Structures are given as structure tokens and as C-alpha cells.
Amino acid sequence: MKPPQVTADEVEFSAIRAQGAGGQNVNKVSNAVHLRFDVRASSLPEAVKARLLALADQRITAEGVVVIKAQDHRSRVRNQDDALARLQAMVDEAAQVPVPRRATQPSYGARQRRLQGKAQRSQVKAGRRSVCE
């Protein structure tokens, strides 16, 4: 199944000044971007929305808005593309349905090896005891 795509009309970009070193250019040009994506108002399937909102990610606000800051590139267009790619990666992760865990039991051989290891460790510790009686 193909994961749902985030469309450009559902995201909101705002240009900001980048942080960190960069010479004079960083002080006068706003090339970093904030991407804002409202998960609840999006056209994603309901199951994907629920899994996306359930992610323990600090980029998702309590109102269900994903905020991504991109400032790695000198170009605003490249920063926008980077932010969109990171948002799409989040949606792709949430689109994958987790495989439910099936409870299993250890095999007979695994139980025997475990008990043999415990007995051997017990012998090692018993050998450390003092023989004063």
C-alpha cells in the first residue's frame, strides 16, 4: 500500500532568520523556514492521523500541529523542500501499521540451556564460599 502524500496546500511556510554562524548574510536574509501542518484538518486517513498524533515527538504540539524548522541550507527553497521531506517521512512512519506481537513460549532446548547456565553459575558462586565450619 502506498503511503498518503502530503500536499503543498495543506502546509504553511513562514520565513525566519536562521540561527548560528553564517557571517553577515545570516543577519539580513530570512532563509530558514517554519513548516506548520495541522494534522486534524488534513486530508490524511483517520487511522494515519491517529497514529501520527500518538507519536511521542516534540515537533507535534498539543493542538495537533506539526512544526518543523529547517535551516540547514542557504536557500529558502531548499529549506522548504527539506522541511517537506521531513514531514513526509513522519507521515510515512505513521502510515505503517504496526505488526501485533504474538506471545510465544520458549522451546524445550532453550529452557534446558537456561537451567544449565543457572546451575553452572550456582557452582561458581558456591566455590567462593568459605569452608570454615
Burial class (CB in 10 A: 0-12, 13-18, 19+), 4: middle
What pLDDT shows up at residue 27? 63
Q: What is the pLDDT of residue 120?
A: 97
Residue 66 contacts residue 48 (beta carbons within 8 Å):
no
Going 82 to 83 to 86 to 92, the CA torsion angle's sign is negative
CA distance linking residue 96 with residue 5, whole number of Å = 13
At 52-81, the pLDDT tens digits run: 888 888 888 888 888 999 888 888 899 999
pTM, rounded to two decimals: 0.68
pLDDT tens per residue, range 8-43: 788 888 888 777 666 666 666 778 888 999 888 888
- Domains, the chain, in order of start with CATH, read 8-95 (3.30.160.20)
Ordered DSSP codes for 15-67? EEPPPS--TTHHHH---EEEEEEESTTSSS-HHHHHHHHHS--TTB-TTSEEE
DSSP H/E element including 14: strand 11-16
